[in-house]
Structure 1
């Protein structure tokens, strides 16, 4: 889908995060995606040049920048996802409130666990020693 709009997959992921949050700092997006600050800056520069996002000073802290989606710019993306959203809504409507609560709990706990495991793996990852070539002799 990202390619359809001339975006990288991570660009589309960040647009989705911004859409759901309404606003975020570059640091919040970097933490959510696992991107370095340099990679996040490059991503945001691409999205800004393409007209999808704008940077604004945080009214609560002028040293921080908040990112916002330009609503008009994402209308074509929303239109492509609208049929899927309608079908998902139809699926979800077949579940009771209690069942949906269980599903949400499962997804949240699974996501939290996955994030924790990735953090553990990053912290425990020791660099692999280079392989030595066998000398022929």
Structure 2
């Protein structure tokens, strides 16, 4: 399964790949801990991240875009939004330029809960980044951005691939 890595580059690529895999698993554990402590399911957490990311970009997400992002039906995303709104995590607002359009935002209570939970991680992250000069952070940013694009392209490709039918039992 594993072969000997002959070059420094091959070894470095293998180590980076392993670190990315471990980082993803550890990040999932942290996300699941947050979700578990606040009675959220995996889809709830994905929805909150999508709402937060959209707000950080200055483009609040609509229920329709959230449904597309999460690959949910209209009814399912409505139930999800209702549940997150009742729990104080998000709020619905009408778009000021088009009153027919609904925009989703992090609610103050939800933002406070998330900040309280993730603040220690943010402080740790800040300490790690402080050890790197701007030029190195620019390289890391470029690398992570490219890796994210690659991962999302793969995700979209496998979403578009129909699932294989289950194996048929052998006649015996």
TM-score of the superposed pair, with normalisation by structure 2? 0.68
Distance between the aligned counterparts of 2:40 and 2:163, measured in 1? 32
The partner residue of 1:10 within 37, 40, 43 is 43
Q: 1:122 to 1:70 in 2, by over 3 A?
A: closer
Between stretches 85-94 and 75-84, larger displacement belongs to 75-84
| Match of residue 67 from structure 2 | 30
Q: 1:95 to 1:27 in 2, by over 3 A?
A: farther
Between stretches 54-63 and 79-88, larger displacement belongs to 54-63
Alpha-carbon distance, 1:127 to partner: 4.2
Distance between the aligned counterparts of 2:145 and 2:111, measured in 1? 27
| Match of residue 126 from structure 1 | 162
Q: Which has the higher contact order (CA 8 A, sep 6+)?
A: 1
Alpha-carbon distance, 1:13 to partner: 3.2
| Match of residue 85 from structure 1 | 122
User: Match of 1:62, SS?
Assistant: coil
Alpha-carbon distance, 1:28 to partner: 3.0
Alpha-carbon distance, 1:85 to partner: 0.7
Q: Is the 8 A contact 1:3 1:9 kept in 2?
A: no
Distance between the aligned counterparts of 1:28 and 1:49, measured in 2? 20
TM-score of the superposed pair, with normalisation by structure 1? 0.82
Aligned alpha-carbon RMSD (Å): 2.1
Distance between the aligned counterparts of 1:73 and 1:55, measured in 2? 13
Q: 1:27 to 1:111 in 2, by over 3 A?
A: farther
Alpha-carbon distance, 1:59 to partner: 1.6
- Counting only pairs closer than 5 Å after superposition, residues 99-114 of structure 1 correspond to structure 2 as 99-114=136-151
Distance between the aligned counterparts of 1:114 and 1:121, measured in 2? 11
Q: Is the 8 A contact 2:88 2:110 kept in 1?
A: yes
| Match of residue 78 from structure 2 | 41
User: Match of 2:83, SS?
Assistant: helix
Alignment length (residue pairs) = 134
Query: Is 2:112 aligned against 1:75?
Result: yes
